[in-house]
Structure 1
Amino acid sequence: PVVRTAVLDANPTIADTLNTLAPLLTTDIMQQLNNQVSGEGREPEEVAHSFLVDNGLIEGN
């Protein structure tokens, strides 16, 4: 992903995080996530949390 140098300087660990996340966010997946919010009325935070848990990026609760 493209990130401004100032952002990377202020948040040095963000590059690793984004490099892990970027391959998972295909166009198809983004459309599915957007539909869950716009079409199904789910909360964005809930959709994002589910995506992160489902992909093993965070632990679920």
Structure 2
Amino acid sequence: MTDFPRDPDDLRAWFEAHGVERLPGLLGIEIVELAPSNCTLRLEIENKHLASNGYLHAATVVALA
């Protein structure tokens, strides 16, 4: 198991470096704020995030959770 950095700035850099070619990067999830007790993410909704019926795909919501 990987030990995560404890400093918020180091943790942000770690997630940004490791998430680029994984699901967060592929979906376009960005870290807005990172603190020891919480994390705020941003996702600009694009066509790739929608289900075939035009609504936000449930997997997109789950990925943010």
Q: TM-score, normalised by structure 1?
A: 0.29
Q: TM-score, normalised by structure 2?
A: 0.28
Q: Which of structures 1 and 2 has the larger relative contact order (alpha carbons within 8 angstroms, sep 6+)?
A: 2
